[in-house]
Chain A
Amino acid sequence: MKRFLIPLGLFLVLAVFLGIGLNRDPREVPSPLIGKPAPAFSLPTLGAPGKTFGPQDMRGRVWVLNVWASWCVACREEHPVLVEFAKRGVVPIVGLDYKDQPAAAQGWLARLGNPYVLSVLDTDGRVGIDYGVYGVPETYVIDKAGIIRFKQIGPVTAEVLKTKMLPMIQELQR
């Protein structure tokens, strides 16, 4: 009997590790940008020709950068959460409209609501590369000094917002 205990124990350890591995999302790759300054950009604003926006405009404020697109299916899932969050007015949410048509983007916001203080147009995806975007939607929490503190890959759910983003935002705003 005792001789089976060791293989059984090894098997259980292996099973636990494989089980953990199965339940993790391989798309969630830790971002090297956490703790680094938000990459600078200056992009045209959606719906306001001639106006540009960059992260430097948000110095001294905690803010959220949300990468979205009208063609992005998961963004639609995330959108109501952001609209609801924006209503509470905790932080300004800036949209980065990633590789999108301005007309389509504006139609999307008109239809589904606009949680953004403004959205900038990253038509060729160049700024997306600087932010290490590989799966829209992605969301960044950026602190008063312009440092990226948190990155959510994939939709922001009500749970992520409540358990991860909000506590961090409140901490940073202090």
Chain B
Amino acid sequence: MNRLLMAALLCLGIALSAQANDAKPLAEDPAVEARLQVIAEEVRCLVCQNESLAASQADLANDLRREIRAQIRQGRTDAEIMDFLVSRYGDFVRYRPPFNVTTGLLWLGPFAALLAGLGGLILFLRRRRGVVAPTALTDDERRKAAALLDGTD
């Protein structure tokens, strides 16, 4: 009986925790919140670097969300707000960094590594072909093979 009660309580707990939601938007205007969400998903929180600005509960993240909200109300475009953030915190705040001189290696590096790998593979295969040259069968071997194939050995 006791166990059953415990199980029931546990289920209730799970059901309730499933109700738990993301942090409630602080402002009422759903349009502003929607835009804030889109921008904040793209921006890294610098205090806890593996979290987006949308997910972070750090103090600075709260401040920045408040700032972005204010700028949205002032009628700034998303690009302007992104520029505002990048000019203060650098390209590092963007989860999708722009392609420029400093990020060139970041964007092209994987492709360069892939090309180098392919080149190495081709070189390796070419060289190996030279080492084990296909040799013709001798008459004796041919006869043996034929016998094996016929199954009359």
Contact = CB atoms under 8 A, between A and B. Distances in A.
* Chain B associates with chain A: yes
B59 A134 contact: no
A97 B12 CA distance: 47
Interface residues of A, number: 19
A29 B92 contact: yes
A130 B59 contact: no
Interface stretch (B35-43, B83-91, B135-143): B83-91
B64 A29 contact: no
A73 to B, nearest CB: 14
Given A29-B46, A129-B64, A135-B47, A99 B59 contact: yes
Given A26-B49, A29-B46, A131 B88 contact: yes
Contacts of A172: none
A42 to B, nearest CB: 18
A132 B49 contact: no
A135 B48 CA distance: 10
B110 to A, nearest CB: 14
Contacts, number: 40
Interface residues of B, number: 15
Nearest to A30: B90
Contacts of B59: 99, 125
Contacts of A125: 59-60, 63
Nearest to A133: B60
Given A124-B63, A125-B59, 11 more contacts: A26-B49, A29-B89, A29-B92, A32-B89, A125-B60, A125-B63, A128-B63, A129-B88, A131-B88, A133-B60, A134-B60
Interface of A: 26-27, 29-33, 99, 124-126, 128-135
What 8 pairs between A and B have smallest CB-CB spacing? A134-B46, A132-B88, A32-B90, A29-B92, A125-B63, A132-B89, A134-B60, A134-B47
